Every structure is written in structure tokens, then in C-alpha cells.
Structure 1
Amino acid sequence: MSKYLLNKFLYTVDRDPELVERYREDPRGTVEMWEAEYANRILNCVGGESSTWLRLEDDEREALATHDYPALFGMGAHPFLTLTLFIAMFERDHEPMGFQTEYARRLSHWTLPYPDIAT
């Protein structure tokens, strides 16, 4: 499992309004495209530098493709990254603070110690 790659997905998608909308409308296609085109790009690097070995695990890919943020949290994805991305996608479908409340409710079964979010 690569918490780094999960967090990189959340980070890069959240910072691009077009990717946010694409992920909202076609999550599985967006995950597949992102893994093929973005996963091995080096963050904040100018030019064409990239690596060749980073890949999502099947369970990570499935959680991303189904917008399963409780599963992502359990895998160690950073909660601030999941929250900000999913707010961008789903806040409009809820009353004010409704999505944040839903997010908290769906993660409420977790108790300390939370899953390790260190990468």
C-alpha cells in the first residue's frame, strides 16, 4: 500500500477544478487516467521528470473509484486531503455544513489511535 500515492491523488485532483469535476462525474475513469498520466510525475517538478514504479493497489484503486473516503481514511490517507477534495465535490449536494457533518458521521466509528497517516 502506498499512502504517498493515495495522498498524491487527493492532492493533485483537489488542486485542479477540471479534475475535481471529472472525478465527481467519472470516478473510475478519472482514477485510471490519473494513474496512467499523473502517478509517476514528480510533484512540483518542472519538466518531464518522472518515476516508473508507482502503482495503486487494487483496494486503493477501488476505494478511490467508489469515493469511499472512510476506507481511504482506514488505509491512512490524510483526513485533511480527503475532506477538502470531497467538500469540493459534494458540498453543493448538501445544506451548509451538511457534507462535513456526513463526513464526521461516516468516520465516527474510528477511535484513537487513528490509522497512521505518515508517508
Structure 2
Amino acid sequence: MSKYLLNKFLYTVDRDPTLVERYREEPREMVTWWESTLANSVLNCHGGEASTWLAFTDEEREALIGHDHCKLFELGAHPFLTLTLFIAMFERDNTEPLEYQKAYGARMAHFSMPYPDIAT
């Protein structure tokens, strides 16, 4: 399990509107593509440098594909990263102000302290 890789995925996808749309519309293809092309790139590097060992576990991959922010939190993804990305993907589907954010919080309500470790 790599909390770093989960958070890197959420961070990089959230910063590119094209990737946000791909992740919303074709999550399985997007996660597979991202893992094979960007997972091992060095974050915020100008290219040419990469690692070779980073990969999602099956559990992480399925949580990303399923847009399951609760499972991602259990696995160590930072809730701020999931919230900002998922707002970009799903807020438009709601009609009331903060409707998506309230639903997100309600789905996370079953967590009690101590919360899962989100340190990377």
C-alpha cells in the first residue's frame, strides 16, 4: 500500500481539468492509464526522472475506480484531496448549495477517532 501514490494520483488529477473529466467518465481506463504513465514520474519534475517500483494495490485501484472516498480514506488518502477532486467531478450533479459536500460528510460520519493515518 502506498499512501503517497494514492495522494499523488488525487493531487495530479485534480490539477488538470482534462484528467478530471476522464476520471469522471472513464475511471477504470483513467486509473489504468495514469498508473502506467504517470505513477512513476517524479512529482513536479521537468521530466527525464522516474522511479520504477510504484503501483497501486488491487484494493487501492478498485477504490479509485469506484470513486469510493470512504475506502480511500481508510487506505490513507488525505480527505482534503478526495474532497476537492470529487467536488470537481460531482458537484455539478447537485442542485442545492453544498449538497455534494454534505453528502460527502454524511458518508464519512461512521469514522470516529482515532481516524485512519493519513501521514505520508
Determine if the TM-score, normalized by the shorter chain, exceeds 0.5: yes
Measured against the shorter chain, the TM-score band is over 0.9
Deviation at 1:99, TM superposition (A): 0.5
Partner Cα separation in structure 2 for residue 14 and residue 111 of structure 1:
27
* Unaligned 5+ runs, structure 2: none
Partner Cα separation in structure 1 for residue 57 and residue 39 of structure 2:
12
Partner Cα separation in structure 1 for residue 71 and residue 61 of structure 2:
11
Deviation at 1:96, TM superposition (A): 1.5
Partner Cα separation in structure 1 for residue 107 and residue 36 of structure 2:
30
* Unaligned 5+ runs, structure 1: none
Question: What is the aligned partner in structure 1 of residue 37 from structure 2?
Answer: 37
Query: Does residue 75 in structure 1 map to residue 75 in structure 2?
Result: yes
AA aligned to 1:17 is P
Figure out how many residues of one structure are paired with residues of the other and give that number.
119
Q: Secondary structure at the match of 1:19?
A: helix
Runs of 4+ in 1 over 6 A off after TM superposition: none
What TM-score, normalized to structure 2? 0.98
In the TM superposition, what whole-angstrom CA distance separates every residue of 1:48-106 from its partner, at most 9, and x where no partner exists?
Answer: 11000000000000000010111001111000000000000000001210100000000
Overall identity of the aligned pairs, in %: 69
What TM-score, normalized to structure 1? 0.98
Query: Does residue 87 in structure 1 map to residue 87 in structure 2?
Result: yes
Question: What is the aligned partner in structure 1 of residue 110 from structure 2?
Answer: 109
